[in-house]
Amino acid sequence: MVNIFRWLKLILLVILTFSVVSACRSHSVQVAPSPVAADCHMIQHALGKTCVPNQPQRVIALSVPTLGDALALGVKPSASIVYFDNPPPYLAGHLESIEILGKEEQPNIEKILVLKPDLIIGIKHSTEAIYNQLSQIAPTVVDDWEGYPSWQDHFNFVAEVLGKTEEAKQVWANYHQRIDSLKTALGNRLQDLEISFVHICCGTIDIDLKNSFNGSILADVGVRRPPAQAVSIAGGITLLSEERLMDIDGDILFVATAGEESTQKLAALKQKPLWKNLRAVQHDRVYPVNYPTWRGGNPLAADAVIDDLFKYLVNGAQPI
């Protein structure tokens, strides 16, 4: 009889163990992935990893290059910061329904909160200090922007964040097609042109080098640059003193100014003997271009720069 009781206890223990294991397995099978995880994709960025929505509806861009990138990909941000008083022509038609959050590195956090974004895209140097605040409002990704030499990498980053990598391929195809068209239009003149660029802004005179935004476009076209500009440095831009004005000597000189102060400084430069010795000045081949366009750092601005190159190098527009 004792043996029978022992066997019954053993059988009950086995049944109980099997039931617990089955229940656990059943519970495991019923666990479903989070709805949030199913609707977002993970992005590795300068300040960590963030799961961003696959189809964001209310995007905030915290730099002008980011704004232009999104627009080029067919996404219109709800809001952006700017760094200009008057929008450049390439952006003017897009800004009507975009909320301006302030200038440079001072986005209005209260406005961002009210807008209820579902995605915020920024660049490290201007976003890092407020990243934690922004992350509490919406998924926030930050690119390790290294100045205008990284404009193409930043565009590809924005395309990945927005899930628009196929659209990005078409944007680059259009860019290279326009570059090739410009090369064809210039023909043999490419070998004879030395193109210089100088911009005057904010109390300084600067030259954009080979790896700057506009410098990379000129390099893709295949035109020569003055020796002082045919180099690459971190940031792609260097200060120019009035004593070194011959560093902007070239067959053609593009000049960009920003604001009344810059315009006055350019007028003063024109009175300098060194300015009058520049080849482009002597041959009346100094051309005005829009400052925020030639420093735009995005495909829309690049398209506008190529328009200027067609305008002045191919179609023979009048100089200043």
Each residue's pLDDT tens digit, 31-53: 223 334 469 999 999 999 999 99
Q: Which of 188, 183, 189 is nearest to 285 (CA)?
A: 189
Q: Rounded to an integer, what distance in angstroms lies between the CA atom of residue 34 and that of residue 140?
A: 19
Assess whether 173 and 195 both reside in one domain.
Answer: yes
pLDDT exceeds cutoff 60 at 12: no
What's residue 16's pLDDT? 40
| Residue that is last in its domain, among 119, 135, 163 | 163
CB distance 178 to 303 below 8 Å: yes
User: Is residue 41 included in any domain, yes or no?
Assistant: yes
Amino acid at 260: E
Tokens, residue 106: 């001072």
Can you give the CATH number for the domain in which 266 is found? 3.40.50.1980
- Write the pLDDT tens digit of every residue in 92-150: 999 989 999 987 667 999 999 999 999 999 999 889 999 999 999 999 999 998 888 99
Q: What percent of the chain has pLDDT over 70?
A: 86
Domain limits at 40? Answer: 36-163
The DSSP letter of residue 312 is I
225 forms beta bridges with none
Assess whether 180 and 86 both reside in one domain.
Answer: no
User: Is residue 29 included in any domain, yes or no?
Assistant: no
Q: Rounded to an integer, what distance in angstroms lies between the CA atom of residue 104 and that of residue 95?
A: 16
User: Is residue 4 included in any domain, yes or no?
Assistant: no
What's residue 319's pLDDT? 54
Number of domains in the chain: 2
Assess whether 173 and 108 both reside in one domain.
Answer: no
Assess whether 107 and 233 both reside in one domain.
Answer: no
Assess whether 76 and 195 both reside in one domain.
Answer: no
Assess whether 184 and 148 both reside in one domain.
Answer: no
| Residue that is last in its domain, among 138, 163, 188 | 163
Q: Which of 231, 228, 63 is nearest to 149 (CA)?
A: 231
316 pLDDT band, cuts 50/70/90, is confident
| Residue that is last in its domain, among 163, 194, 216 | 163
When pLDDT is averaged across residues 80-100 and rounded to a whole number, the result is 92
User: Is residue 98 included in any domain, yes or no?
Assistant: yes
pLDDT exceeds cutoff 90 at 260: no
